[in-house]
């Protein structure tokens, strides 16, 4: 990840990992989630949904930090995030 300044505790803190879920048929192809993802996790799909839009695909799942910005921005509630299973176990 590129920072405009490097956090002082960057060596000690580990970024969480998230899983991205897309409801393919609900998407209206606005592209907000793709454009504003800070880690460039999402890309435009080659496929069409039934409405004729190109929903996002999770092209780089390993880069997701579960910031949930895509979930907050989506006007159709078509994308959401969950914390990676292993991280959930680690917090128990």
Minimum distance of ligand SF4 from residue 87's CB (angstroms): 13
**Out of 31, 43, 82, 83, the residue judged to bind ligand SF4 by CB under 6 A:** 31
Segment interacting with ligand SF4, rule: CB under 6 A, options 3-11, 17-25, 82-90: 17-25
**Out of 16, 17, 43, 67, the residue judged to bind ligand SF4 by CB under 6 A:** 67
Contact between 70 and 39 under an 8 Å Cβ cutoff? The reply is no
Structure tokens at 6: 């490097």
Minimum distance of ligand SF4 from residue 52's CB (angstroms): 13
């Amino acid at each position: 990840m590129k920072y405009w300044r490097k956090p002082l505790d960057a060596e000690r803190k580990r970024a969480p990992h998230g899983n991205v879920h897309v409801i393919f048929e609900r998407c209206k192809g606005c592209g907000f989630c793709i454009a504003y993802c800070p880690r460039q996790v999402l890309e435009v799909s080659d496929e069409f949904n039934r409405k004729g839009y190109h929903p996002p695909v999770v092209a780089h799942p390993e880069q997701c930090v579960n910031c949930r910005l895509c979930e907050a921005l989506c006007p159709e509630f078509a994308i959401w995030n969950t914390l990676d299973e292993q991280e959930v176990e680690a917090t128990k």
